[in-house]
């Protein structure tokens, strides 16, 4: 069975764009666009960012940085959990 694809109008930098997304994922796409618009607005408020394209690039870089930090945090948590699991297994094997 094929997945249904919907067209969603998304506003970025004051311009409307149409994107395809899986049925049921429309709100996720709109939320992502809203987050990007918020970050672009934050970047434009900085004195060093002079135009929308630079604001968009800076927002994308900040979002990628946030993603990398979360991925690193997740990896650290996974490693900690694995250490605890190994200790539990070791302890259970001794008894």
Which tens digits make up the pLDDT trace of 76-95?
A: 999 999 999 999 999 888 65
| 30 vs 89: CA distance, rounded Å | 45
Query: If residue 70 lies in a helix (H) or strand (E), which one and from where to where?
Result: helix 52-94
| 42 vs 20: CA distance, rounded Å | 27
Residue 51: per-residue pLDDT? 87
Residue 3: per-residue pLDDT? 81
The pLDDT mean for the chain works out to 91
pLDDT for 47 beyond 90:
no
Give the pTM. 0.74
């Amino acid at each position: 069975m094929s997945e249904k694809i919907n067209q969603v109008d998304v506003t970025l930098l004051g311009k409307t764009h149409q994107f395809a997304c899986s049925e049921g994922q429309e709100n996720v796409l709109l939320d992502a666009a809203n987050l990007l618009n918020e970050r672009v607005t934050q970047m434009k408020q900085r004195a060093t960012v002079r135009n929308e394209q630079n604001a968009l690039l800076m927002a994308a870089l900040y979002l990628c940085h946030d993603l990398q930090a979360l991925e690193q945090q997740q990896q650290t948590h996974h490693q900690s959990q694995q250490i605890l699991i190994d200790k539990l297994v070791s302890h259970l094997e001794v008894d």
